[in-house]
Structure 1
Amino acid sequence: AATGLRAGTPVVAGLFDVVASAIGSGVTSTGAASIIAGTWSINQVITEEPIRDPSIFMLSTFDPVRYLAIESSATSAANLEWIVREFFEHAPPAGASPFEICSELVASVGPAGDMPIYHPFLYGSQQNGKARAGFYGIAGWHTRAHMLRALFEGVVFEHRRHVETLRRAGATVSQAVLSGGGSRSAIWPQIFADVLDVPVTVARSRETGALGAAIAAGTGVGLFADFSSGAAAMTAPDRCYQPNSEIAPVYEQRYRLYGEINQAMGPLWDRMASERMSD
Structure 2
Amino acid sequence: MTISNHLMGVDIGAGSVKTTIISADGRVVGDASMEIATRHPKPGWTEQDPDDWYVAMCATVPRALREAGLSGADVAAVSFSAGAHTPVLLDEADRPLRPAILWSDQRSGAEARHLSERHGEMILATGCNQPNPTWTLPQLAWLQKHEPDIGRKTRKLMVAKDYLRFRLTGEWHTDRTDAIGTLLYDAGNDCWSREICDLINWRLDTLPPVVSPTDIIGTVGSRAAAETGLAVGTKVVCGTSDTSIESFGAGAVESGAGCVKLATAATVSVVAAAPTIHSTLINYPYAVPGLWYTIVATNSCASAHKWLRDSVFAATDDRAFAHYDRAAADIAAGSEGLLFHPYLNGERSPYWDPLLRADFIGLTMSHGQAHLTRALYEGIAYSLRDCLSALRAQGLDMSEARIVGGGSKSALWRQIVCDVLAMPISMPAVTDASFGAALLAGVGAGVFADEISAARACVGIAARHEPDPASAATYTEMFGIYKDAQSRLADINHRLHHVAVGG
TM-score (norm 2): 0.52
Structure 1 residue 152 displacement after superposition: 0.9
Amino acid at match of 1:188: W
Q: Is 2:489 the counterpart of 1:265?
A: yes
Corresponding residue for residue 100 of structure 1: 322
Q: Deviations over 1:134-186 (max 9, x none)?
A: 11011222222222211110011111111221122222211111111111113
Deviations 1:29-71 (A, max 9, x none): 1333221111111221101232132331111123342111011
Residue ranges of structure 1 left out of the alignment (5+ in a row):
none
* 1:109 and 1:149 in contact (8 A); partners too: yes
Aligned residues: 275
The aligned counterpart of 1:82 is 307
> Could you tell me whether the CA contact under 8 Å between 1:113 and 1:250 is conserved in 2?
no
Residues 205-250 of structure 1: per-residue CA shift (max 9 Å, x gap): 141x111111111111222221111011111111111111122221
What residue in structure 2 maps to residue 237 of structure 1? 461
1:59 matched to 2:284: yes
The one-letter amino acid paired with 1:110 is: A
Q: Say whether the 8 Å CA contact 2:250–2:402 is kept in structure 1.
A: yes
Structure 1 residues 9 and 89, CA gap change in structure 2 (3 angstroms)? same
Query: Is residue 163 of structure 1 aligned with residue 388 of structure 2?
Result: yes
2-structure distance, mates of 1:261, 1:18: 30
User: Retained in 1: the 8 A contact 2:334–2:375?
Assistant: no
223-232 vs 56-65, which deviates more?
Answer: 56-65
Alignment correspondent of 2:159: none
Task: Pick the aligned partner of 1:172 from 379, 389, 397.
Answer: 397
Paired residue for 1:20, among 239, 245, 259? 245
User: Is this contact kept in 2: 1:56–1:70, CA < 8 A?
Assistant: yes
In the alignment, which residue of structure 2 is the partner of 1:35? 260
Residue 202 of structure 1: aligned partner: 427
In structure 2, distance between residues paired with 1:229 and 1:117:
43
Contact kept, 8 Å, 1:77 with 1:155, in 2: the verdict is no
Instruction: State the SS of the aligned residue for 2:400.
Output: strand
Supply the AA of the counterpart residue of 1:175. E
Give the number of the structure whose alpha-carbon radius of gyration is greater.
2
Q: Is the 8 A contact 1:89 1:98 kept in 2?
A: no
1:122 aligns with 2:344: yes
The change in CA–CA distance for 1:108 and 1:7 in structure 2 (over 3 A counts) is closer
Contact 2:245 2:287 in 1 (8 A): no
CA contact (8 A) 2:248 2:288 kept: no
Query: Does residue 370 of structure 2 align to residue 153 of structure 1?
Result: no
Contact (CA 8 Å) 1:113, 1:254: kept in 2 or not? no
Are positions 1:276 and 2:493 aligned together? no
1:250 is aligned to 474
In structure 2, relative to structure 1, the CA distance for the partners of 1:137 and 1:110 (3 Å cut) is same
Greater relative contact order (Cα 8 A, min sep 6): structure 1 or 2? Answer: 1
Structure 1 residue 9 displacement after superposition:
4.2
Determine if contact 1:28/1:231 at 8 Å carries over to the other structure.
yes
1:186 aligned to 2:403? no
Other structure's SS at 1:146 match: helix
How far apart, in 1, do the equivalents of 2:304 and 2:457 lie? 34
The reply on whether 1:221 has 2:438 as its aligned counterpart is: no
1:89 is displaced (CA, Å) by 5.6
Picking from 259, 267, 272, the partner of 1:47 is: 272
Matching residue's letter, 1:193:
C
Identity of aligned residues (%): 27
Q: Is the 8 A contact 2:408 2:427 kept in 1?
A: yes
Q: Which digits, 9 at most, give the CA deviation of each residue in 1:184-207, with x for residues without a partner?
A: 113100001000111111222141
Q: Which runs of 5+ in 2 are unaligned?
A: 1-168, 171-219, 223-230
Change (3 A) 1:247 1:8: closer
